[in-house]
Amino acid sequence: MTVVVDKAFTVTIERLLELLELEEEDDYGILKPTEYAFKTAMKLVLEAYKVMEIEFPQASACTDDEGGIRLTWSSRESERKVCLFCPDNSEQPVDIYYSTRDNYGVVDLVSVSTLINWLKWFNEA
């Protein structure tokens, strides 16, 4: 049995894993993601991919100065952007930021279906 994994998903996972190789911190704050942020981001991406499969878009990944993770899906053609913010700890909500040329907003991530809905919205462009 051969399992085919989409390139956009593979690149997204590789970018998440690369964050674990960062130095612990620098003059601006924490570089390496916290365990909570990494596990949260990985779980959401894996669960979204299980549903979306080849529709899963490629994301870039970075950390904030507290060890949280931001995954960003952006399209120059449609000027749409979706960002998933996984904070450094469970005391803060996981958020999704979305934007177009004329509109933007933030929603709390209630479940993986919320992420899937926004990624489908991103793909509609």
The predicted-structure confidence for 40-57, as pLDDT tens digits, reads as follows: 999 999 999 999 999 999
Q: What are 30's strand-pairing partners?
A: 25, 66
How much is the mean pLDDT over the chain? 91
Task: Check residue 24 and give its pLDDT.
Answer: 77
Task: Check residue 9 and give its pLDDT.
Answer: 95
Eight-class DSSP state of 113: H
Looking at the whole model, is its pTM more than 0.85? yes
**Rounded to 5°, angle at Cα 108 from 9 and 72:** 35
Q: pLDDT class for 118, splitting at 50, 70, 90?
A: very high
